[in-house]
Amino acid sequence: LRNFDRVAEIYDSTRALPEPVMAAAVDALEAELRGAGAVLDAGVGTGRFAAPLRDRGVEVVGLDLSRSMLRKAKGKGLANLVRGDVTAMPFAGRAFGSCLMVHVLHLVDDPLKLAVEAARVCRSHVLSLFEMSDHVTERDEYVRLGLESGCLLDETSEVTLAETAPPSVLKEVAVWASEKSSDEAIGLLADRLSSVTWDVPEAIHGEIIRALRASLGGRTIKSTRTLKLAVRDVEDIAWGALSSA
């Protein structure tokens, strides 16, 4: 398991989305979630999405393994927080209306199994929000080099899941132009502030960072980023799991 305790302090400042993108995301989530009962935010983290949804009157319960991330969420006034594993959720079947997962699917070994577990505890939909870029990012390149060295797992979780349990709704929530210093992005990876680096041994990590600096360092990286929302019916997930078994 990847322990997010080490990044709780800097998580919000390093993962922030532009304000209009965040607003569009919360609008889209609210439209899907409102009136469907309590929502489980599985892998709630610091409450980046749970807090604004709560502010819009959505009843949210947050589940996470990391004590420090949960402490941050609590600091935002979120009350219904549970410490536990998203792959074996401490909840009864159909306890929630819907389940939301943001940047969580790629952290588990089997995204379909996680989707099945999420579908078990809710009555209608499992939602996931994910980002795409039209450019290879420094993170993508780190993952590619890590895969080559044999010490990282493939991270195409949303794509893998779409093959077995295609979403009934797939929406583009926001598209925006991003301009970033590659050195800053490589610095975050070098300091192991991104979870993709956590399982990589020091020597290989050092080699990958040197390769990244040589190939991508010292640039301004312009890209078009897209935030997407996938909505899956619980029956479709169960069906996907059955047919891929």
Which residue number, 90 or 206, has a Cβ lying nearer to ligand SAM? Answer: 90
Point out which residues bind ligand SAM (CB under 6 A).
Answer: 1-2, 4, 43-45, 48-49, 64-66, 69, 85-87, 102-104, 107-108
Q: Which residue is nearest to ligand SAM (CB)?
A: 45
Which residue number, 62 or 97, has a Cβ lying nearer to ligand SAM? Answer: 62
Return d(Cα 122, Cα 32) in angstroms, integer. 14
Which residue number, 173 or 218, has a Cβ lying nearer to ligand SAM? Answer: 173
The residue ranges of DSSP E strands in the chain, in sequence order, are 39-42, 60-64, 81-83, 96-102, 122-133, 169-181, 220-233
The residue ranges of DSSP E strands in 67-121, in sequence order, are 81-83, 96-102
Which residue number, 75 or 206, has a Cβ lying nearer to ligand SAM? Answer: 75
At residue 101, the 3 state secondary structure works out as strand
Residues 6+ apart with CB under 8 A from 27: none
Nearest approach, Cβ of residue 155 and ligand SAM (Å): 12
Return d(Cα 232, Cα 221) in angstroms, integer. 33
Nearest approach, Cβ of residue 163 and ligand SAM (Å): 22
Nearest approach, Cβ of residue 101 and ligand SAM (Å): 7
Nearest approach, Cβ of residue 214 and ligand SAM (Å): 28
